[in-house]
Amino acid sequence: MRAAPRLSAASERPDPAAARADAGSRPVTALRGVGAALAQRLERLGVTSVADLLFLLPLRYEDRTRVTPIGALTPGTRAAVEGEVQLTEVTYRRRRQLLTRLADGSGFLTLRFFYFSGSQQQNLARGTRLRAFGEVRRGPLGLEIVHPEYRRLGEAAAPLEETLTPIYPLTEGVPQGRLRALIAQALDEVARGGLVDLIPPHAGLPAGLPALHEALVYLHRPPRGAELAELAAGRHPAQRRLAFEELLAHTLALRVRKRALKSDPAARLDDAALARRLIGSLPFSLTRAQARALAEVEADLATGVPMVRLLQGDVGCGKTVVAAAAAARAAGAGKQAALMAPTELLAEQHGRNFTEWFRPLGLPVALLCGGQPARTRRSALEGLASGEIRIVVGTHALFQEGIEFADLALVIVDEQHRFGVQQRLKLAEKAHGARLLPHQLIMTATPIPRTLAMTAYADLDISVIDELPPGRTPVQTVVLPEERRAQVVQRIVAACRAGRQVYWVCPLIDESDELRAQAAEETAAALAAALPGVRVGLVHGRMPPKAKDQAMLAFKAGKIQLLVATTVIEVGVDVPNATLMVIENAERMGLAQLHQLRGRVGRGLEASSCVLLYRSPLSETARARLKAIRATADGFEIARRDLELRGPGELLGTRQTGLAQLRVADLMRDADLLPRVQAAAERLEADAVRSAALTSRWIGSDERYGRVG
Ligand code: ADP
Ligand code: MG
């Protein structure tokens, strides 16, 4: 595919700054004393280039710049002390050990060694002056340090460290001292101008952040008296300078991808007639937010430049019709549209909706998913290859080998958080060889806060549906301990008597589908026994697609009143008559998942409720989660809380975004930098050489965004 952007422009247009920046991108083996073996070990720390070494920041610092009088030591701190050995002896208290008593006139301190040599014992003879460093703790003989680092002091005053001592993350076979020496070597290169500052003044670096050199030197060798608390919190300007650069590099990489994608031609879908007819035939009118999102989508489709748009909107806001209208544009132009859903259940549901909407317009809709009869599948494939079928819905079975489209102009991906950048790349690849690239519309119900979305999805344009269709009553959420289960069962009876339907979501007992299925079966049997008048159905991931489909259909048709399910119903399923949802072991589920599940009720005009059953004792986080989900129904607010509780890696899905693996930056902590990062990316985007240098410095040959280097 063409998405691999041409970033190696440096060789064509020599730029002295970018060329010099290459000193940092030299392999670590360029440093003195680094052979293949050490290089391999360093790679485990993510270090392959000299610059990587510089961006390997200390986990913490120790202050060996001053000596603390022994009398002023506090347990639990790490400190340097100086004193004279009063006594050194081997004792056998439980196990053999060496004890050295050190005094400085203000008090005395025990140094305790469990591993020691004979010469070490001799070196610690009475009268020796020592400087020792380590963690002070309370021991049986008063304050002590176990296995301190120490050195003997001669007659002359030994100089103290001038800078704080960095403690780096370690990997087997690379001791702290070795790493320090290597980083010192790398820092020398910086001092010689080997690592160019790639952020020019016009990039708009926030005020008060230092230049690159200054930041690196500060972080590897903080001066005496540096703000340790600020450093520990990751809020020091030197750290923020690097975080800014890292976030900028990622943003640029994604934008470059987007530009590359958009440089290919796509079909111009400028006939609105069919889409208008589809919208006109719906039993409702679009909300303002839907209409706005659709207008944005249609504007993209009409241009002949590939659309890469994320359609973001809370569960139940009505993304599907927007997608259908887009598909109508493709079909109206005589071309094809494909909608891909993350599960068969959802694919089938979308298939039914699309069929309902498109059949009256004279357009057949094909369904392609895993467990289909061969004949159905074959005829769908033929229809797609001949172009007779213009609209197809399916799972990722849609993009397997051997599936041919006559003229695919639009790909719609539902519930994007299940798909990642990698899959997006694949989709575009599918069309490689075709003259035109298909437009892409990606729908997600994970309402990521805007600044975060703009960074994590900088390769996409974003439309937001921030309004629910009218007439919905907010779902009332109740949190109850497991002991009140009997009471909850009574609520089911009441709901069914009133003609409503109920979901019961089974606990997340295990990661295995097998055990989940078993638990769901047992729960369904128990509930059926407890509720003789109620028709109970079951859906879980282990059922054959057909049985699953039948159960869902029966539930949708009202033949099943109580549907017991695993979390397979999490995404997208739409049954407006269901007004009660019970979630077992809610304390084990994440906020986003609870919100998604709860979104299955409250889809009709009736008031709905969601009962969250939990098992005690609740952890701190679980308590916070349940409190948050009860307090708010706003997906964006929930996303914000989720971000606080879990961090962005979890929210975005670790596999889904390169941003889940940042080295220096932290999306949560550094969120306030994001607007400026965006602005800087806009200013620097056109500067291909600089952008390439930044990306290769921070992302290197990593393929998480496709090939960028
Ligand atoms: P989601 O955004 O979660 O995918 P859906 O597209 O499944 O939401 O829509 C949820 C429900 O709302 C569906 O039953 C759909 O038909 C209905 N719906 C969508 N748009 C509107 C609207 N403008 N007015 C009323 N109901 C709507
Ligand atoms: Mg949906």
Q: Using an 8 Å Cβ cutoff, are 21 and 195 in contact?
A: yes
Residue reference for tokens 């299925």:
517
Token duo for residue 14: 């020599």
Q: Say how many C-beta atoms besides its own lie within 10 A of residue 621's C-beta.
A: 13
Give yes or no for residue 316 CB within 6 A of ligand 1. Answer: yes
Token duo for residue 49: 């280039």
Q: Please report which ligand is nearest the Cα atom of 603.
A: 1
Nearest CA to ligand 1 atom 23: 286
Using alpha carbons, select from 144, 131, 132, 133 the residue that is nearest to residue 62.
133
For residue 271, the CA-to-ligand 1 centroid distance in Å is 25
Q: Please report which ligand is nearest the Cα atom of 602.
A: 1
Q: What is the pTM of this model?
A: 0.73
Predicted local distance difference test score (pLDDT) of residue 7: 33
* The one-letter amino acid at 176: Q
Helix boundaries (H) for 535-687:
545-556, 591-598, 620-631, 635-646, 648-652, 674-684
Token duo for residue 306: 């590939």
Atom of ligand 1 nearest to the CA of 313: 2
Give yes or no for residue 445 CB within 6 A of ligand 1. Answer: yes
Give yes or no for residue 317 CB within 6 A of ligand 1. Answer: yes
Give yes or no for residue 574 CB within 6 A of ligand 1. Answer: yes
Give yes or no for residue 134 CB within 6 A of ligand 1. Answer: no
Tell me the C-alpha distance between 329 and 611, whole Å.
Answer: 42
Give yes or no for residue 321 CB within 6 A of ligand 1. Answer: yes
Predicted local distance difference test score (pLDDT) of residue 629: 92
Kindly report whether the peptide bond that precedes residue 438 is cis, defined as omega within 30 degrees of 0.
Answer: no
For residue 353, the CA-to-ligand 1 centroid distance in Å is 11
Measuring CA to CA, how many Å separate 487 from each of 397, 483, 562, 607, 652? 44, 9, 16, 19, 37
Q: Using an 8 Å Cβ cutoff, are 246 and 665 in contact?
A: yes
* Domains with residue ranges and CATH for the chain: 16-61+166-233 (no CATH), 66-160 (2.40.50.140), 273-465 (3.40.50.300), 475-632 (3.40.50.300)
Give yes or no for residue 286 CB within 6 A of ligand 1. Answer: yes
Tell me the C-alpha distance between 482 and 487, whole Å.
Answer: 10
For residue 315, the CA-to-ligand 1 centroid distance in Å is 9
For residue 279, the CA-to-ligand 1 centroid distance in Å is 13
For residue 112, the CA-to-ligand 1 centroid distance in Å is 70
Element (H, E) at 480: strand 476-481
Strand order of the β-sheet with 439-444 is 365-368, 391-394, 336-340, 408-413, 439-444, 308-313, 461-465
Q: Are strands 97-103 and 439-444 parallel, antiparallel or unpaired?
A: unpaired
Tell me the C-alpha distance between 670 and 659, whole Å.
Answer: 12
Atom of ligand 1 nearest to the CA of 319: 2
Atom of ligand 1 nearest to the CA of 353: 16
Token duo for residue 316: 């139940």
Residue reference for tokens 């009869």:
373
Give yes or no for residue 465 CB within 6 A of ligand 1. Answer: no
Q: Please report which ligand is nearest the Cα atom of 416.
A: 2
For residue 349, the CA-to-ligand 1 centroid distance in Å is 13
Give yes or no for residue 319 CB within 6 A of ligand 1. Answer: yes
Tell me the C-alpha distance between 652 and 592, whole Å.
Answer: 11
Predicted local distance difference test score (pLDDT) of residue 13: 41
Q: Using an 8 Å Cβ cutoff, are 618 and 601 in contact?
A: no
Q: Please report which ligand is nearest the Cα atom of 323.
A: 1
171-175: list long-range contacts, CB under 8 Å, 24+ apart.
171/41, 171/42, 171/44, 171/45, 172/41, 172/44, 173/37, 173/38, 173/41, 174/38, 174/41, 174/42, 174/45
Give pLDDT tens digits for 484-538: 999 999 999 999 999 999 999 987 655 666 777 778 889 999 999 999 989 999 9
For residue 276, the CA-to-ligand 1 centroid distance in Å is 17
Give yes or no for residue 708 CB within 6 A of ligand 1. Answer: no
Q: Residue 563: beta bridge partners?
A: 503, 537
* The one-letter amino acid at 298: E
Q: Say how many C-beta atoms besides its own lie within 10 A of residue 265's C-beta.
A: 12
Which residues of the chain carry a pLDDT beneath 70? 1-23, 401, 416-434, 447, 508-513, 570-572, 646-661, 701-709
Atom of ligand 1 nearest to the CA of 322: 6
Nearest CA to ligand 1 atom 14: 574
Q: Using an 8 Å Cβ cutoff, are 68 and 80 in contact?
A: yes
Give pLDDT tens digits for 586-641: 998 888 888 888 988 988 888 999 999 999 888 888 898 999 999 988 887 887 78
For residue 547, the CA-to-ligand 2 centroid distance in Å is 22
Tell me the C-alpha distance between 485 and 600, whole Å.
Answer: 21
Atom of ligand 1 nearest to the CA of 603: 11
Atom of ligand 1 nearest to the CA of 320: 6
Nearest CA to ligand 1 atom 10: 316
Give yes or no for residue 284 CB within 6 A of ligand 1. Answer: yes
Using alpha carbons, select from 657, 200, 204, 208 the residue that is nearest to residue 454.
657
Nearest CA to ligand 1 atom 26: 469
Atom of ligand 1 nearest to the CA of 471: 25
Using most ligand atoms within 8 A of CB, pick from 311, 317, 356 the residue to mutate for ligand 1.
317
Using most ligand atoms within 8 A of CB, pick from 282, 287, 321 the residue to mutate for ligand 1.
321
For residue 379, the CA-to-ligand 1 centroid distance in Å is 31
271 contact partners, CB below 8 Å, separation of at least 6:
329, 332, 333
Give yes or no for residue 221 CB within 6 A of ligand 1. Answer: no
